[in-house]
Amino acid sequence: MSLAVGDKIIFKIQRFSSDADKKEHYEDYEVEYRKDGMMILDGLNQIRWEQDGTLSYRRSCREGVCGSDGMNINGINMVSCMTHISDLKSSVITIRPLPGFPIVKDLVCDMTDFFNKYYVVKPYLIEKTPPPGEERLQSIEDRNKLNGIYECILCACCSSSCPSYWADPDYLGPSALINAARFVLDSRDEGKDERLDILNDKHGVWRCHTIMNCIPACPKELNPTKAIAELQQTIVSRKY
Amino acid sequence: MADIPLKIHEADVVIVGSGGAGLSAAVQTGLAHLKTVVISEVFPTRSHTVSAQGGINAALANMDEDYWIWHMYDTVKGSDYVGDQDAIEYYTKNAPSTIYMLEHWGMPFSRTKEGRIYQRAFGGQTRNFGETLAHRSCAVADRSGHSLLHTLFERTLRSDIAPYVSYFSEYYALDMIRDDSGHVIGVVSWNMVDGGINIFFGKAVIFATGGNTRNYRTNTNAHINTGDGWSIAMRAGIPIEDPEYVQFHPTGIYTVGNLITEGVRGEGGYLLNSEGERFMKKYAPHVLDLASRDVVSRGMAQEIREGKGVGSKKDHMLLKLDHLGHDFIMDKLPGIWELAYKFTGIDCTKDPIPVEPTAHYHMGGIPTNRFAQVVIPDGDNPEKPVPGFYAAGECACVSLHGSNRLGCNSLLDLVVTGTQAGRQASKWILENDIELPTPPVEYLADKTAGGTIKKIQNLFDSEGSVRMDEILEKLRDSMSTNMGVFRTEDSIKRQLDVLADLRKKYKKVGIQDKGLSFNLDLIETLELGSLLDISLIGTAAALNRTESRGAHYRDDYPERNDKEWLEHTLTFLNNDKVDIKYKPVRMKPLTAPTFQPKKRVY
Residue B78 has pLDDT above 80, yes or no: yes
Residue A108 near chain B (CB below 8 Å): yes
Beta bridge partners of B38: B15, B167
Could you tell me which chain A residue has the CA closest to the CA of B168? A112
Q: Which stretches of chain A score pLDDT less than 70?
A: 1, 21, 240
A130 touches chain B (CB under 8 A): no
Q: Can you tell me the distance from the alpha carbon of B211 to that of B194, in angstroms, rounded to the nearest whole number?
A: 26
pLDDT at B105 over 60: yes
Residue B567 pLDDT > 80: yes
Q: Examine the pLDDT at B115 and tell me if it is beyond 70.
A: yes
What is the phi-psi region of residue B128: left when phi exceeds 0, alpha when psi lies from -120 to 50, beta otherwise?
Answer: left
- The answer regarding whether domain A112-239 maps to CATH 3.40.50.1010 reads no
Does any CB of chain A come closer than 8 Å to the CB of residue B435? no
Kindly tell me if the per-residue pLDDT of B442 is higher than 60. no
Mean pLDDT of B105-117: 98
- Segment among B61-75, B436-450, B508-522, B548-562 with least mean pLDDT: B436-450
Which residue in A has a C-alpha nearest to residue B224's C-alpha?
A60
Query: Does residue B270 register a pLDDT over 70?
Result: yes
The CATH fold assigned to A8-109 is: Ubiquitin-like (UB roll) (3.10.20)
Contact B100 A135 (CB under 8 A): yes
Would you call B286 helix, strand, or coil by DSSP?
coil
pLDDT one-digit tens code per residue, A79-129:
999 999 999 999 999 999 999 999 999 999 999 999 999 999 999 999 999
Contacts of A108 in chain B (CB under 8 A): 518
- Inform me whether the C-beta atom of residue B347 falls under 8 Å from chain A C-beta atoms: no
CB atoms near residue B587 (< 10 Å): 17
Three-state DSSP string of B189-229:
EEECCCCCEEEEEEEEEEECCCCCCCCCCCECCCCCCCCHH
Q: Which of B142, B140, B141 is nearest to B151 (CA)?
A: B140
Chain A segment 191-210 residues within 8 A of B by beta carbon are none
Arithmetic mean of pLDDT, B42-62: 97
pLDDT score at B404: 97
B498-544 per-position pLDDT tens digit: 999 999 999 999 999 999 999 999 999 999 999 999 999 999 999 99
Q: Say how far apart CA B70 and CA B72 lie, in whole Å.
A: 5
Please tell me if residue A63 touches chain B, with a CB cutoff of 8 Å: yes
Mean of pLDDT over chain B: 95
Question: What percentage of chain B carries pLDDT values higher than 70?
Answer: 98
- Band (pLDDT 50/70/90 cuts) for residue B214 is very high
Domain locations in chain A?
Answer: 8-109, 112-239
Which residue out of B513, B522, B526 would a mutagenesis test of the A interface target, given it has the greatest number of A Cβ atoms within 10 Å?
B513
- How do the residues of chain B divide into helix, strand and coil, expressed in percent and rounded to 5? 40, 25, 40
Q: What is the mean pLDDT of residues B553-564?
A: 97
Q: Which of residues 130-189 of B touch A (CB under 8 A)?
A: 143, 145-147, 150, 154-155, 157-158
pLDDT tens, position by position, B331-366: 999 999 999 999 999 999 999 999 999 999 999 999
Q: Which of A19, A46, A184, A190 to probe by mutation at the B interface, max B CB count within 10 Å?
A: A19
pLDDT tops 80 at residue B448: no
Interface residue B109 vs chain A (CB under 8 A): yes
- Report which residue type is found at B191: N
Residue from B103, B143, B166, B191 whose CB has the most chain A CBs within 10 Å, to mutate: B103
| pTM recorded for the entire structure | 0.97
Burial A14-24 (b: 16+ CB within 10 A, else e): bbbbebeeeee
From A202's Cα to the closest Cα of chain B, the distance in A is 25
Question: Which positions in chain A touch B520 (Cβ < 8 Å)?
Answer: 48, 55-57
Query: Residue A44: what pLDDT?
Result: 98
Q: Do A143 and B345 touch (CB under 8 A)?
A: no
Of all residues in chain B, the percent with pLDDT exceeding 90 is 94
Name which of A67, A135, A139 is nearest B46 (Cβ-Cβ). Answer: A67
pLDDT confidence band for B286 (50 / 70 / 90): very high
List A13's β-bridge partners, or say none.
Answer: A27, A95
Please check whether residue A105 is in contact with residue A56, taking contact to mean a CB–CB distance below 8 angstroms: yes
pLDDT band at B434 (very low <50, low <70, confident <90, very high): confident
Q: Using CA atoms, how far apart are residues A177 and A195, in angstroms rounded to an integer? A: 11
Residues of A in contact with B345 (CB under 8 A): 36-37
Whether B127 is catalytic: no
> Quick one: pLDDT at residue A19?
78
| B51, B99, B154 ranked by CB distance to A63: nearest | B51
Least confident of B315-324, B426-435, B537-546, B560-569: B426-435
Q: Check B136, B143, B293, B600 and give the catalytic one.
A: B293
What mean pLDDT is predicted for residues B382-399?
Answer: 97
